Structure 1
């Protein structure tokens, strides 16, 4: 109550009988202590002022707003229905007008919000609020007439504000609320301890993730050296961005990484943070995840859906919100000392949507792209989930039928196979796995020979123009109802070199080689070489468009920098360019057919081997081509030199 002589209210009101203090819980009183200490010089009855309280961390709007309202009701004799408490936001004009009209107001500036110069000038006082302290907790316990036990003090200081707000309700006494909070905290600790036992997969069980697994092994060694004091935290790779399509195994990789590193893992999610509510609640949830990781350091903090955090370059109506979120994330990521012992592994589907500032040095400065697993990797994933080793025949069917499958899709296939075995009352085996595969149709021999000739043509022309051929694969099976690639040839230049027009023309020739081989052997070519964006003829056409129309290697030196998706539009609206592209393709097709005609024995030899064995290594391909290759002798006459 105010003192009639000095005009001041009591400094520390331990036991208040005033109606203003009805329903003031322990956490609200702790927040009140922080506010009262900050505004002590302005603590005069009916003194008009507008204050801004700046929070750097440890902020929860419902509690601090209620605490500030209690303070304001004592100073300004306001009624329950009157409020002088506001929160700075990106549209504060209405609140400013009300505060200006009354000459009174307390504005809360949440973490991540940057006060403008006008807002600072508007405020009579701008003061930073210190985080809750043990003394605030002791004061709250004394006011509630509870023993000042240091374990209770630690509990009130360490628990997040939202949990304190949920535990301390008007309908509960403070002792009952403390007991509920203590039991729930003990339960969560037991769950966390069980999670930290490192059960589950390790990096050795990860298949098809290549560089990510190698990086993980190096991190495990670095963390072991850090824990033993052999290296400092600056020597640890403490931030990485994982990207890849949904279901590829980013979350599973993070779990395996933690198990291999023998450190706890804390799971965070941008969508879960967003569910907390407004910007301040979102930032609070984010900071809570980082704090949990710091408390358990060394640890791994896994943040899922990182690309939904937003970018500061957007200019829509949510720009202010995204700016605040990104600023909060930068604050948590900045500096090794700030998060020493915490390795941040962020996962996303679209890395281009991540704000560039989050990927700078010292933050998430390493990017690992996870690709869909290849055939052997898919077999490894299957073995991890089932323990079953497929026979060579079943493995061939499995690899082809699951082409393009992610680890999650293989896991789903295993669940379906186990369910089928249970329904049939059988022991789970490879038969049930094969039965769950998409329906396969065996290709007839004449269709298979077309595919073999097509892929052999690619390999032959690639070899003749100086590319390194690393293997040929064709499939004897077709997935019913799907348009799938039935053959593949891997070839590349043997060394890095400057890309000249000849380089591009040779690549176009390799793209056209499958068509040329079919035309030489069968007199025509099938539609599998065209139609999709990745088909041979489509890729050759786009490359020819680039040569003739965009990089100055055609009939003009004029250069354009269009998106590859615009190539078709360029040809459609520029008949002259379309004619030039047609002429280049026609010329390269003639050159390619000439090569195949000269080396027809080598082509036929490759086809016959592929009809028996659908997979050939690079060494086998080169051996067949060299042993069946015809030497080419130039019949051009030497030009006579004449003198004068």
Structure 2
């Protein structure tokens, strides 16, 4: 039976290939080949199209690495599609390099230590990767491949001799043993130490005062900075300093930048770790060594902050799959490193993740990462401050309105990208960065027609009127958008509610909530005779929320026609309605009853609905107090409209 292959080569070339000795490479080129292949593991797939920049250190010699890179590229790119695009970034000829790379859609570019990569260079590259150094493993593999004995003296020579001397000694026409003897017979070059030029200190980077939109996390950071200062001054022991926190939020909100700002504000070093980076170290033993090494480094530099990114990758020990044994060992090791002050005194662990619910509960227990702080998407005010931080440009009020609309739902990283694009546009025109460049690089906006805005205002006013009449929750704000981001589906209006006061959560409480959810649909039906598709379909749509709440009421809370209750999982509600026709009918009856009730309220309070919609259409946004003042001024006295219909058992 034929064996199916993925088309992917061995991840590293020094672990034995059947025809390894037939590779047309000299000994130093083979060592460089190992370093290149190790750094380019993710792109080691046949036929891939990539432009990669390898950032080198001082231990680099372009002729050797260029030959190694060409051979690596020839193995994954078909020969007819590869024209030798292995080049070196320099202050000259970069335009030609870029043109050739774009022509073939494939290239390996080396950035010497003396060359500073520009933004345009990074944009051209699909990835910018640090080129790993030559190691003893590379030297040993090269010696074995050449049929030479592996000795400490030979390995040391291959690691310490300059690449240029290795290249001249090991030639295709010369036997490797002869080349090795020639190197040994010649004295090593004397390296004259040159005084290093004094480099200006790099900027410290942001501090907590530069961070915007992080909510209570900033307050926690200031408290930690004060505690560390008190600890350094001998005022408090380390046991009084909080030793860890778990922060979560969507990608791009700036969790890594917060770690840097926190370290700068606390005047302590930050050690960056990553669950996925530790795992890349290799097998289980190497994985655990890499993880322990980060904790050891943090302890040696204490007091310090150890930032663990993607900590949710560890998962949960309760998961059952083919990797469960491996991950249980990793999580157990992490718990041992986290547990107690004696193990990591002087080290604050800052864990960051996107999905905190996936994390093992033991990691979040007291003494480990027991404090959890969520980082929301930045609001309009925070987004404006983020813009000023990255650009130094303050927009006028009219531009700020467009900026708020175009950046709604964006993260700090998204806004930084907008500023970067605006700076590039200003450079291309030889102009100073201004608000015009910022606005020009925002997502395109489409102005909504007046009739559409009127329908939005009616819908949102319907929620407010029904909410006020049933007394479910007090409205804190109501808003509609006058523009729409092109090519994007998003809410164009919303009503914010204050948290309801503590009360008995009876069936009437939930029926009032359902009626409030259906208030927008009821208003559209009364005014226009129909409602739009935006009321349902999405998870957060009005009709979806009302349906899920009605399903819980009938299917799990024991408040329907039966006292039978069960655990409520929102993800399972659609299956419950699909496979239980009786439950589906009961949910339909609840929705129909509450929609009729909401429409009755709208009919009775039509003057209040129209007044709120008119004012909202004029202002675009209303505070809760103003909404209730308008409703109170136009409200008609009606008997028992807010009371839900009584139901009797069959």
Partner residue, 1:113: none
Whole-Å separation in 2 of the counterparts to 1:164 and 1:623: 78
Q: Tell me the alpha carbon deviations over residues 510-548 of structure 1, each in whole angstroms, 9 at most, x when there is no partner.
A: 111001111222222222111212111111111112112
Deviation for aligned residue 1:630: 2.2
Give the match for residue 225 of structure 1. 230
CA distance in 2, matches of 1:633, 1:310: 56
Indicate conservation of the 8 Å contact 1:529/1:536, yes or no: yes
Matches of 2:581 and 2:322, distance apart in 1 = 44
Counterpart residue number, 2:446:
441
- Shift of the 621–273 alpha-carbon distance from structure 1 to 2, 3 Å rule, reads same
Aligned residues: 466
Q: Distance in 2 between matches of 1:263 and 1:229?
A: 16
Q: 2:326 aligns with which of 316, 321, 335?
A: 321
For the residues of structure 2 that align with 1:529 and 1:376, how far apart are their CA atoms? 28
Q: Aligned residue for 1:126?
A: none
TM-score by length of 1: 0.68
For the residues of structure 1 that align with 2:564 and 2:207, how far apart are their CA atoms?
A: 54
SS in 1 for 2:305: strand
Q: Distance in 2 between matches of 1:351 and 1:579?
A: 36
Within 2, Cα distance between the matches of 1:634 and 1:488?
28
- For 1:257, which of 262, 265, 270 is the aligned residue? 262
Structure 2 residue aligned with 1:330, among 335, 351, 360? Answer: 335
Q: Which residue of 2 aligns with 1:31?
A: none
Contact kept, 8 Å, 1:458 with 1:489, in 2: the verdict is: yes
Matched, 1:385 2:390: yes
TM-score by length of 2: 0.67
Mapped partners of 2:337, 2:571: distance in 1: 39
CA offsets 1:367-423 (integer angstroms, 9 cap, x no match): 112111122211121111111222222112111112211111111121112112222
Q: Match of 1:341?
A: 346
Is residue 399 of structure 1 aligned with residue 404 of structure 2?
yes
Give the counterpart of 1:212 among 212, 217, 231: 217
Report the aligned-residue RMSD.
Answer: 3.0
State the 1:502 CA deviation.
0.9
Cα distance between partner residues in 2 of 1:242 and 1:360: 14
Q: Per-residue deviation at 1:573?
A: 2.6
Point out 4+ residue stretches in structure 1 off by more than 6 angstroms: 162-168
The verdict on how the C-alpha distance between 1:496 and 1:362 changes in structure 2, with shifts beyond 3 A counting, is same
Q: CA deviation at 1:437?
A: 1.6
Change (3 A) 1:198 1:231: farther
On the 8 A contact 1:198/1:259 being kept in 2, the answer is no
Structure 1 CA distance for aligned equivalents of residues 444 and 213 of structure 2: 25
**Distance of 2:487 and 2:631 partners within structure 1:** 36
- CA contact 1:223–1:261 (8 Å) conserved in 2: yes
Is 2:488 aligned against 1:479?
Answer: no
Post-superposition Cα deviations, 1:129-153, rounded to whole Å, max 9, x if no partner, equal: xxxxxxxxxxxxxxxxxxxxxxxxx
Distance 1:629 1:229 in 2: 65
How far apart, CA to CA, are the structure 2 residues paired with 1:322 and 1:259? 34
Aligned to 1:429: 434
Q: Contact 1:198–1:258 at 8 Å: present in 2 too?
A: no
Query: 2:491 and 2:547 mapped to 1: Cα distance?
Result: 19
Residues 418-438 of structure 1, C-alpha deviations (whole Å, 9 max, x = no match) = 112222222211111111122
Deviations 1:77-103 (A, max 9, x none): xxxxxxxxxxxxxxxxxxxxxxxxxxx
Which residue of structure 1 aligns with residue 520 of structure 2?
Answer: 514
* Counterpart in the other structure of 2:502: 496
Q: Cα deviation per residue 1:21-61 (whole Å; 9 max; x = unaligned)?
A: xxxxxxxxxxxxxxxxxxxxxxxxxxxxxxxxxxxxxxxxx
Residue-by-residue CA offset, 1:97-139 (whole Å, 9 max, x unaligned): xxxxxxxxxxxxxxxxxxxxxxxxxxxxxxxxxxxxxxxxxxx
Decide which of 171, 177, 180 is 2:154's aligned counterpart: 171
Alignment partners' CA distance in 1, 2:535 and 2:393: 37
Contact 2:552/2:568, CA 8 A, preserved across alignment? no
Q: 1:170 & 1:269 partners in 2: Cα distance? A: 36
Match for residue 272 of structure 1 among 266, 277, 292: 277
Counterparts of 1:634 and 1:565 in 2: how far apart (Å)? 36
Contact 1:307–1:354 at 8 Å: present in 2 too?
Answer: yes
Conserved 8 A contact 1:462-1:491:
no
Q: Is residue 461–residue 509 contact of structure 1 (8 Å, CA) maintained in 2?
A: yes
Shift in Å, 1:310:
4.2
SS of the residue aligned with 2:518?
helix
Change in Cα spacing, 1:576 to 1:328, as seen in structure 2 (3 Å) is closer
- Residues 1:229 and 1:194: Cα distance change in structure 2 (over 3 Å): farther
Task: Say whether 1:626 aligns with 2:632.
Answer: yes
Partner of 2:378: 373
Match in the other structure for 1:94: none
SS of 1:242 mapped into structure 2? strand
Shift of 1:170: 3.2
* Structure 2 counterpart SS, 1:337: coil
